[in-house]
Amino acid sequence: MGGAAVLGGAPAAVRPPGAVTAWIVSPHLLVAQAVAAALASAGRDVEVHAWETVAQEARASRDAGGTTFVVAIFDGEDSFTVVEEVSRLVEAGDVRVAVVAPGSTAVWWGGLLEGSAVDVVTSTTSISQLLEVVDRLLTGSTLMDPDRRLAVRAAWVQALDSRRQLIALMRTLSPQQMRVLELLASGHRVVAVADAMGVTVGTVRSHVKALRAKLGARTQLEAVAMLRRVYQSGDPADDLVPRPRAAPVGESRRQWRR
């Protein structure tokens, strides 16, 4: 992950080493393990928890008493998938979550910032900054200053309004035009779209021209970007086609520096 961490609020209080355990989670287990190993080597009491079961485990921890502290590491993951899972985690109750994510995706988390259970920190490869995140989280210190929290929420509200307008435009597309757009957004080229739909390349190009006109998109890439923005904040649009899937690529694993 690139960029510097953005932290705010009061400085963390001094915490005795090993007093509280922080859970480290990520959709990529190798990322969680690498971060946890680096934090543990710096003397922090941390545990790696599976992304798929963390919400269930948080409920069990709540029933046993005490607050669960989670550092959730993301690196450009699909917005709805991760936001929905963190929402379930917060719903478990007695959970504090530090979301470490790219600054460009901070707006995705605006809906979870009304209370104090979630803080968003822009991503960093610096373990020293992650140590600060963990220490502040475990001592109950805030990670976001009030102005930044309000700014992210405001950006989220604005994104929701823009999304509603985009959905209205998407609903003007025919089923064939929507299918073409979804396939293009999934990383398919025009020839592959034609093959998948069983039509000619010329027909696909005609659909692209028509859908661009309806959406007011100057280019094919702009039309694809508009569809992707529909799924970058707010609730899923269940009456639209499935969310665009990224074209298959090798899963990235970044080295965390100490």
Angle in degrees, 0-180, between the axes of helices 220-230 and 175-185, rounded to the nearest 10: 90
Here the tokens at position 77 are 């993951």
Q: State the fold for domain 22-144.
A: Rossmann fold (3.40.50)
The pLDDT of residue 45:
93
pLDDT at 206 over 70: yes
Domain layout of the chain by residue ranges: 22-144, 160-258
pLDDT one-digit tens code per residue, 141-173? 989 999 999 999 998 888 888 888 999 999 999
6-15, 77-86, 107-116: least confidently modelled range: 6-15
Q: How confident is the model at residue 19 (pLDDT cuts 50, 70, 90)?
A: low
Please report the pLDDT score of residue 17 as a whole number.
44
Say what the pTM is: 0.69
Q: Residue 124 pLDDT > 80, yes or no?
A: no
Q: How confident is the model at residue 46 (pLDDT cuts 50, 70, 90)?
A: very high
Average pLDDT score, the chain: 83
Q: DSSP of 178-242, one letter per residue?
A: HHHHHHHHTT--HHHHHHHHTS-HHHHHHHHHHHHHHHT-SSHHHHHHHHHHHTSSSS--TTSPP
For the 160-258 domain, the top CATH level (class) is mainly alpha
Residues 86-114 have a mean pLDDT of: 89
